[in-house]
Amino acid sequence: MSKVLNIRMPLSDAAVETMTAGTQVLLSGVIYTARDAAHKRLCELIARGEKLPFDLNGGALYFVGPSPARPGRVIGSAGPTTSYRMDAYSPTLMEHAGLKAMIGKGNRSRAVVDAMIRYKCVYLAAAGGAAALIAKCITACEVVCYEDLGPEAVHRLEVKDLPLIVAIDCHGRNLYENPEIQ
Amino acid sequence: MRIIQFNDIVNAVATLCLKAAYDLPPDVMGGMKDARARERSERGCAFLDQCIENANIAAAERMPICQDTGFAVYFIEMGEDVRVGGGSIYDAVNAGTARGYTEGYLRKSIVTDPLFKRRNTGDNTPAVIHLELVPGDRLSILLAPKGGGSENMSALKMFPPSAGREGVVEFVVDAVTRAGGNPCPPTIVGVGIGGTFEKVAYLAKKALLRPLGQPHPEELYAALERELLEKINASNVGPQGLGGDTTALAVHIEYFPCHIASLPVAVNLNCHAARHDRVVL
């Protein structure tokens, strides 16, 4: 638990390599939100050979559906949702859209971990349920697409020092399966 | 006969939605602090500290503790001598839910039909309403907003009676362990035993509402709660699923008589943001 890495978006393969399982990360820069329904639409676009509505190359997806912002606030509460529901879609986004980091909570499938190794992607755990605390690290928020999905719309977030833990690294080391990794 | 006006129920329910979303109940906060004091994992301690700080921020800034402000699940005890003036109790509770979730900047997480359209209803209705008739002229409304992540980790099995105590222990511990980090541990584990298929699920949910850590009044069931909690916390799932001593804050069991052929068991998990609040009219 000693190492803390300051990481800035977007990510190169070299930056992904530095994020080893168990490392604490303070993430800054632009990330995008997406949950189940948005993932489904993004993968349908890829299947039809169409362009995505935003650039995910070297980018990160945060699995979150924030609560609405009060007037004068950037965002409402914004903690992670459970990640396994995105397992069916994540490998496609790594292969075809250049996805380099995923932020969520809970373990991932073997197929996702294999894709993370193949395409050099990292999986970061945010503090599930600490949603008001996490919102403090979000400095800007705007809807990018799929506004009709309400809380499931894709938002572009600017984050500063978002506290995360590398839960699964790009070599397949997995903190959920080996919590003793330091 | 006592008449309670429709609008008074709407107002009370709307206020209840806000309080439940922003304020972690004191028993849950106490349980988190006790767990923090016992936890030996450094990572687990850091996470529990974050959760405690998060609850303080949410209360002070009137922000939802968790962005998933849940399905609005109500347990209502309605006195036999109460009548709602100007509408039905169901309509009043749904109208209060819509107002609370809209005015309180709470997330709307309900979609129309589950399989085809999945269109957001826009105001977090309909609510799930469990209505019980009781003696008297009071109306007690308990709201337990339920997040999707922990609800998805529920389990139910219709055992034969031969499975016995051992079968129940194995099933519950397995359900919590397999859920891993998904339901936002440390969780509160609600266990229903007995009744029928639908009754046992209701019991498991209702068990979550007991004040945190208050043991079952019957010693045989209280001992079973202690054994389950000890085994669950020996699993090393830990806070956030990243290892440690605190996988659950408490195990609560509720039971009901059952058929000679059956031993139904249900597990319903609540995340550490175990929100609930009650109003009595």
CA atoms of B42 and B49, how far apart (whole Å): 11
Interface mutation target, options A2, A41, A82, A152, chain B, most CBs of B under 10 Å: A82
Is B100 found in the same domain as B159?
A: no
ipTM, 2 decimals? 0.94
Structural domains in chain A plus CATH codes: 4-168 (3.20.130.10)
Residue A13 has pLDDT above 80, yes or no: yes
3-state secondary structure of B56: helix
Sign of CA dihedral A28, A5, B32, B248: positive
CA–chain centroid gap for A123, Å, is 7
pLDDT for A1: 52
The catalytic residues of A are: 39
Which residues in B lie closer than 8 A to residue A82 (C-beta atoms)?
148-149, 152, 182-183
Interface mutation target, options B65, B68, B237, chain A, most CBs of A under 10 Å: B68
| High-pLDDT (> 70) share of chain B, % | 100
> Of B64, B181, B238, which is closest to A107 when you measure between CB atoms?
B181
Label residue A104 by pLDDT band (50, 70, 90): very high
DSSP track, A69-113: PPTT-S-S--PPPBGGGGTTTHHHHHHHH---EEEEBS---HHHH
Interface mutation target, options A36, A41, A70, A133, chain B, most CBs of B under 10 Å: A133
Is B105 found in the same domain as B186?
A: no
Tell me which DSSP letter residue A54 carries.
Answer: S
Is B186 found in the same domain as B115?
A: no
Is B134 found in the same domain as B14?
A: yes
pLDDT for A182: 79
Is B89 found in the same domain as B15?
A: yes
Which of B130, B146, B162 corresponds to the end of one domain? B146
| CATH, residue B220 | 3.30.1330
Nearest chain B Cα to A177, which residue? B242
Tell me which DSSP letter residue B217 carries.
Answer: S
| High-pLDDT (> 90) share of chain B, % | 100
B263 Cβ contact list (under 8 Å, min separation 6) = B158, B159, B160, B161, B163, B164, B167, B168, B193, B194
3-state secondary structure of A146: coil
Is B267 found in the same domain as B188?
A: yes
Which residues in B lie closer than 8 A to residue A165 (C-beta atoms)?
43, 242
Number of domains in chain B: 2
Q: Does B61 touch chain A (CB under 8 A)?
A: yes
Interface of B with A in 193-252 (CB under 8 A): 236, 238, 240-244
Is B88 found in the same domain as B175?
A: no
Whether B56 maps to a domain, the answer reads no
Label residue A105 by pLDDT band (50, 70, 90): very high
3-state secondary structure of B157: strand
User: pLDDT tens, B203-245?
Assistant: 999 999 999 989 999 999 999 999 999 999 999 999 999 999 9
CA distance A74 to chain B (A): 12
Which of B117, B146, B175 corresponds to the end of one domain? B146
> Of A64, A76, A133, which is closest to B105 when you measure between CB atoms?
A76
Is B101 found in the same domain as B73?
A: yes
Which residues in A lie closer than 8 A to residue B62 (C-beta atoms)?
70
Contact B53 A176 (CB under 8 A): no
Average pLDDT of chain B, as a whole number:
97
| Pairing label, strands B248-258, B139-146 | unpaired
CA distance A87 to chain B (A): 13
Average pLDDT of chain A, as a whole number:
96
Is B207 found in the same domain as B71?
A: no
Chains A, B: CB pairs < 8 Å? 138
Mean pLDDT across the stretch B73-89?
A: 97
The strand ranges marked E within A34-72 are 60-62
pLDDT for B88: 97
pLDDT for B18: 97
pLDDT for A3: 80
Whether B154 maps to a domain, the answer reads yes
Which residues in A lie closer than 8 A to residue B67 (C-beta atoms)?
64-67, 76-79, 131, 151
Domain containing B216 equals 149-273
Is B245 found in the same domain as B181?
A: yes
User: pLDDT tens, A48-70?
Assistant: 999 999 999 999 999 999 999 99
Which of B116, B146, B176 corresponds to the end of one domain? B146
Whether B243 maps to a domain, the answer reads yes
Contact A151 B43 (CB under 8 A): no
Whether B45 maps to a domain, the answer reads no
Whether B35 maps to a domain, the answer reads no
Q: Higher confidence at residue B3 or residue A1? A: B3
State the residue for tokens 């972690």.
B24
CA atoms of A157 and A137, how far apart (whole Å): 10
Label residue A2 by pLDDT band (50, 70, 90): low
Is B135 found in the same domain as B7?
A: yes
pTM, two decimals, is 0.95
Tell me which DSSP letter residue B214 carries.
Answer: P
Is B157 found in the same domain as B120?
A: no
CA distance A58 to chain B (A): 26
User: pLDDT tens, B133-190?
Assistant: 999 999 999 999 999 999 999 999 999 999 999 999 999 999 999 999 999 999 999 9
Sign of CA dihedral B72, B180, A166, A133: positive
User: pLDDT tens, A119-146?
Assistant: 999 999 999 999 999 999 999 999 999 9
